[in-house]
Structure 1
Amino acid sequence: MTASAHFPTADALRAVTLRDVTLRDGLQLTGKLLSTERKIALARELLRIGVPQLEIGSLARPDLVPPLADTLDVVAALDEEERHRCWVWVATPRHVERALAAGARNLQYCLSVSDAHNRANVGRDTMASLEAIPRAVEMADAAGGRVQLCLATAFTCPFDGPVEPDRVLEIVTSPLAQGTSDVVVCDTLGQASPAEVGALVSDVRAAAQGRGLVFHGHDTWGQGVANTLSAIAAGADTVDATLRGLGGCPFAPGASGNTATEDLLFALRPDWFVPSALERLIDLGENLLSELGEPNRSRAVQGARGGAMAFPWSVARS
């Protein structure tokens, strides 16, 4: 049996980079806060386990997103090698300036394709955010950094409904966005279907002019893994996820958890992800959920603890 043209091969799956975004998107909607020291320890443990990249925080207003108020302290505490594998969410040139001063070099500059969500999220319309990108890129370049173009609400907006694909492509191809290192396509509400994800990611890939392509999915409607695999088949080379499916957007009614890191890794099977790595991630997630008072949303974790111990990926119940 040959692989379907619409499904990535095993080699293609293994070649994809997973970026764990627990420390940013995963913490945005939690009712309890993690200490700065706990965040630093969590980041280092994820890197030690083998997770290739992390998103470790955001410069969103601390009064609006209190769990991320200490992001710059987390950045400053990491060493240069660790920061090389870590990303920080920004939305203005001032954010970029502050993040660079703290030592960050990988910046995810986010704007929403929908004006209504961009105003709710960062207080301005989409074009105003887009017009500021050249300055952000200039500052990052001068510091030896890089800026991703992150497109929230690329499929649907909680205020305006479906988003036209042409609107996404207009932003991707805008001269204002040239100089960004990657394009991040976000299914912010988790409402997209695999067919919709595949079609848009394919079009963005063709329009991105050699930039990398990241897919950021949510599992609100149970399509997180399926949508991510569809994005990979269409050309995504990096995918986002959070431990145990934590997360959501505080400025997008109806947005719930991200695709679970454990679920995606079980599907992708990168060379570093062996049963012992899964067990360490399960333990890490268990402690995190206990601290935050959050439920488990990972089906792979449920399966690993299902008791079928003849299966090498099964984990004994603690």
Structure 2
Amino acid sequence: MSSVVLRDVTLRDGLQLTGRLLPTDRKVALVRTLLAAGVPELEIGSLARADVVPPLADTLDVVAALTPEELDRCWVWVATPRHVQRAVAAGARNVQYCFSVSDAHNNANVGRDTAVSLDAMPDAVAAAREAGGRIQLCLATAFTCPFDGPVDPGRVVEIVADPRTAGSCDVVVCDTLGQAVPSEVGALVSRVAAVAGGRRIAFHGHDTWGQGVANALAAVAAGATLLDGALGGLGGCPFAPGASGNTACEDLLFALRPDWVTPGVLANLVTVSEDLLDELGEPNRSRAAQGVRSRAAAFPWTAGPRA
């Protein structure tokens, strides 16, 4: 599975529910640390309202501090064409245009029905393209909605096949609540891939019910080539009651073993994650991180307890 790309979403989805704020310079330093470690892509923030999601209020400052070469590997979450314009004006190259398949969650998350977000997508695509950037279609609550329950998979497929979304470079299928199981993930990703028209398929999972890695592997088997994860399983959605953190990057990397990840690289990322989580006062939910810190010296992926 060396061809599967990991996108670290710590600085967006990972920070949404943290009680402590991470300073801008610390975010920029973390971006550079992760890129230098070999992480292929990052999600570095969101243009959500600052009063609603305070930990992400400085996203455009983070963008402005990064070089064009760094920004080529970074993504910013947006929900409107105006968000796209603001992001690219600050220097962003890649934006993730997100809305929910469920009307109830879309209204809670971005204050409008799904149809309104879908209608606006061509303008968002045009704004990204005019700036020479890329734009993803990101579908939240693709499996279940915290307010309305199960989501019709056919509705997800319809949106992906809709001509208004055709200008996107990727399709991100989100298990926002972490309630899906591998059979559901594999079935939906397979259907999405069949109508995506060659666009890259991404899977964004949460580990609420302990299925994060299993769901990610099912997505890959069905055609996904990009997986989202956060350091230490950090994160969650403020508008999705019952959702816990993202699937941990450490767990995904240990399972996938991409070419750039060696035992030393994984151990280094575990240390980076531990320092960040300590700074934020957040628990470490990664099982692979626990494994790295074990005393099983005969296993090459262990590094032992920290000095």
TM range, normalised to the smaller chain? over 0.9
Q: What residue in structure 1 maps to residue 225 of structure 2?
A: 237
Q: What residue in structure 1 maps to residue 71 of structure 2?
A: 83
Shift of residue 142, structure 1, vs aligned partner: 1.0
| 1:71-123 per-position Cα deviation (integer Å, ceiling 9, x unaligned) | 00001100011000000000001100000000001000000000000000000
CA distance in structure 2 between the aligned counterparts of 1:300 and 1:284, rounded to whole angstroms: 14
2:154 matched to 1:148? Answer: no
Shift of residue 316, structure 1, vs aligned partner: 2.1
CA distance in structure 2 between the aligned counterparts of 1:97 and 1:206, rounded to whole angstroms: 31
| 1:176-207 per-position Cα deviation (integer Å, ceiling 9, x unaligned) | 11111110000000000000000000000001
**Which letter does structure 2 place at the counterpart of 1:220?**
T
CA distance in structure 1 between the aligned counterparts of 2:143 and 2:22, rounded to whole angstroms: 31
**Which letter does structure 2 place at the counterpart of 1:146?**
R
**Which letter does structure 2 place at the counterpart of 1:184?**
V
* TM-score under structure 2 length normalisation: 0.99
* Equivalent residue for 2:286, pick from 295, 298, 305: 298
2:190 matched to 1:202? Answer: yes
Shift of residue 306, structure 1, vs aligned partner: 1.5
CA distance in structure 2 between the aligned counterparts of 1:303 and 1:282, rounded to whole angstroms: 10
Q: What residue in structure 2 maps to residue 10 of structure 1?
A: none
Query: Is the CA contact (8 Å cut-off) linking 2:295 and 2:302 kept in structure 1?
Result: yes
* Equivalent residue for 2:271, pick from 283, 287, 291: 283
* TM-score under structure 1 length normalisation: 0.96
| 1:269-294 per-position Cα deviation (integer Å, ceiling 9, x unaligned) | 11110011111101101110111000
Shift of residue 254, structure 1, vs aligned partner: 0.5
Q: What residue in structure 2 maps to residue 74 of structure 1?
A: 62
CA distance in structure 2 between the aligned counterparts of 1:173 and 1:152, rounded to whole angstroms: 16
Shift of residue 309, structure 1, vs aligned partner: 1.1
* Equivalent residue for 1:260, pick from 248, 251, 259: 248
Q: What residue in structure 2 maps to residue 317 of structure 1?
A: 305
* Equivalent residue for 1:28, pick from 16, 23, 26: 16
CA distance in structure 2 between the aligned counterparts of 1:178 and 1:57, rounded to whole angstroms: 24
Shift of residue 310, structure 1, vs aligned partner: 1.4
**Which letter does structure 2 place at the counterpart of 1:199?**
A
Matches within 5 A, 1:1-318: 13-318=1-306
Q: What residue in structure 2 maps to residue 3 of structure 1?
A: none
CA distance in structure 1 between the aligned counterparts of 2:129 and 2:210, rounded to whole angstroms: 39
CA distance in structure 2 between the aligned counterparts of 1:192 and 1:283, rounded to whole angstroms: 30
CA distance in structure 2 between the aligned counterparts of 1:283 and 1:198, rounded to whole angstroms: 33
Query: Is the CA contact (8 Å cut-off) linking 2:172 and 2:201 kept in structure 1?
Result: yes
Provide the secondary structure at the position in 2 that maps to 1:132: helix
Q: What residue in structure 2 maps to residue 6 of structure 1?
A: none
Taking only the aligned residue pairs, the percentage that are identical comes to 72
Provide the secondary structure at the position in 2 that maps to 1:210: coil
After alignment, is 173-182 or 237-246 more displaced?
A: 173-182
| 1:22-73 per-position Cα deviation (integer Å, ceiling 9, x unaligned) | 0000000111000000000001000000000000000000000000000000
**Which letter does structure 2 place at the counterpart of 1:284?**
V
